[in-house]
Amino acid sequence: MENVYLAVVLAPLFGAIVAGLFGRQIGRVGAHTVTILGVAISFVLSVWVFKHHVFDGADVHNATVYTWMISDGIRFEIGFLVDNLTALMMLVVTFVSLMVHIYTIGYMHDDPGYQRFFAYISLFTFSMLMLVMANNFLQLFFGWEAVGLVSYLLIGFWYKRPTAIYANMKAFVVNRVGDFGFILGIGALLFYAGSLDYYEVFAEAEGMSAATITILPGTDWSLLTVACILLFIGAMGKSAQVPLHVWLPDSMEGPTPISALIHAATMVTAGIFMVARMSPLFEFSTAALSFVLVIGALTAFFMGLIGIVQNDIKRVVAYSTLSQLGYMTVALGASAYAAGIFHLMTHAFFKALLFLAAGSVIIALHHEQDMRRMGGLRKYMPITYVTALVGSLALIGFPFFSGFFSKDGIIEAVSLSTTPGAGFAYVLVLLGVFVTALYTFRMFFMVFHGEERFRNVAHHGHEDEHGDGGHGHGHVHEPRESPWVVTVPLILLAIPSVVAGYVVGPVLFGDFFSDSIFVLQDNDVLARLGEGYTGIMGFVVHGIMMPPFWLAMAGLATAWYVYMVNPRIADTIKSRFQWLYTVLDRKYGFDEFNAFVFAGGSLGLGRWLWRFGDMLFIDGLLVNGSARTVGLISRYARYVQTGYLYHYAFAMIIGLLVLLTVFVL
């Protein structure tokens, strides 16, 4: 089995190396062939691994591949932990990645960086697989940093565009802030447990919950609480939780396939997966769970509100991703880890579908992304239309679609939670259902229904996707359906966007994660929720009678009325509540705050250190000052050296008298 696990992670790496180093020699066809083949092998083997562990009931695999080094008794190893949680993540990551690889053939067809792009996305897949298959914190951190590095390269793929360079640097810096907390958390666990192995650290969890550390004089903190919060700060960066969320919307500067790969099933879900994997630690810290719960609720609601005022189709989906990651985080804070991972899985399918559908629309409109210049595309792009409708219905949690089962499971679990802050979180995630439906179908109606507004912008000049400058269109290009390499992945992603939710029984209320996730009996809200589970139809009937369904329908109806029946009402609302629109449009001022306080503060501190530290102290006092002192001493010391013998004899006599005087006294 170890050879199979090695093949899963090394096949994409091999494709990335070949496409990256020999791209010119093998050409475009060779580059996409070798990378798609590598990811396809990884996907097929992941399906087999999933069957082996889930359906055949194989034992958990936890083994070391090789030992990198041993230092002071601490083993630094590379190894694999494969259980049901890992098998599920492997399946989701490789499937979505394979769809993105195929889709990229059509989307990036004319891009000069074609081979480089395939090398990057294949390397990204390898990095994510190393992260989810790790059995120790060293390998986890390697995968964690590797996906961050490759995302930096992908977001700034069009490096000639200043906005892309700004976006990838922003993503890199914000994630470094989170990763600083993450590595401190790993260090705290290593200090206490003396090991980097998951199981050895988990075995010390209860003891760590009783241990305390002193951070500020006179205050004792729970070691486990501090370590868990530090780990979660890393997750806040990777999974874009408030206030470390600011990088994700700007990452839309990268090509659309990357939006799907980073924001659907891979990098942004790494934080969710990590907290679920660390459930044996978080369960012994109520304070850490409460912190996770509140942060997730704030992200779920307030980031969704921003999506309502966005006009860039990719940014609407990006803010939707932020909001849905908040739902997953809320589930983790409520100890409903299985519900969070379940929503991670369903969300991966329908959000990748929505991103790729948005890319299909962008292709049809010659890289136009402003929804105000779209409309009426339903008759021109039937496949994209139907698949986007499937993704939208799954996102809002419409009955019988995958998002209905996973999102309702989270909301119901939070309603039963006794973790401090659960009541506050329940209100926000409930209101978030209305907001989700509103921004989702606002986007859907503006793009596919109504007036064909793209006909009114025939002379619109814009910057193309490759950053080569603006150009104008002298005539209207009729939109048409995307090629098969784009539509086939849409269809294949639409299928699990519908059916993936039907495994709700074993995943949420069964023992699917019994070997992977640990929950204390007092915190097990899913067990209490499962007492009333009677099957799929019972779940649907119960869900239809609950507030989330009616709030979703209210949001859909509001979007239909405002943007289809009476479009002028949107302008009226905007003019009457201009202050609210401004707050949302400026994203609550996070960018300005970061630019003024952190970026501006760092620059100001740097200037101060340069002026007073470097110029005044180092150069002025130490370097130039010491040189001036030596020069001054030398200037007067030279008068002592006269060259006359009687001067030196006189000095010797004076010295001798001084020494005799000191000796006598």
Residue-wise pLDDT for 392-407, tens only, equals 999 999 999 999 999 9
The total of other beta-carbon atoms located within 10 Å of residue 4's CB is 15
Helices (H), 365-472: 382-396, 402-416, 422-448
Is there a contact between 168 and 467 (Cβ–Cβ < 8 Å)? no
DSSP 8-state class, residue 398: -
pLDDT tens for each residue of 297-312: 999 999 999 999 999 9
Is there a contact between 364 and 482 (Cβ–Cβ < 8 Å)? yes
Q: What's the CA gap between 416 and 337, in Å, rounded?
A: 14
Q: Which two tokens stand for residue 335?
A: 């100890």
Is there a contact between 178 and 236 (Cβ–Cβ < 8 Å)? yes
Q: What's the CA gap between 83 and 217, in Å, rounded?
A: 43
Q: What's the CA gap between 405 and 536, in Å, rounded?
A: 9
pTM as predicted: 0.87
pLDDT tens for each residue of 118-152: 999 999 999 999 999 999 999 999 999 999 999 89
pLDDT tens for each residue of 527-539: 999 888 888 999 9
Q: Write down the domain spans for the chain.
A: 291-456+481-565, 615-664
The average confidence (pLDDT) of the chain is 88
pLDDT tier at 107 (50, 70, 90 boundaries)?
confident
Checking if the pLDDT of 463 tops 50, the result is: no
Q: What are phi and psi of 221, to 5 degrees?
A: -115, 145
Beta bridge partners of 220: 214
pLDDT tens for each residue of 66-101: 999 998 888 999 999 999 999 999 999 999 999 999
DSSP 8-state class, residue 417: -
pLDDT above 90 covers a percentage of the chain that reads: 55
Q: What's the CA gap between 22 and 16, in Å, rounded?
A: 10
Half-sphere exposure of 286 (CA within 13 A, CB side): 9
Q: Which two tokens stand for residue 179?
A: 């990763």
Q: How many residues does the chain have?
A: 665
Q: What's the CA gap between 183 and 77, in Å, rounded?
A: 17
**pLDDT for 316:** 92
pLDDT tier at 287 (50, 70, 90 boundaries)?
very high
Checking if the pLDDT of 552 tops 90, the result is: yes
End-to-end CA gap in the chain: 91
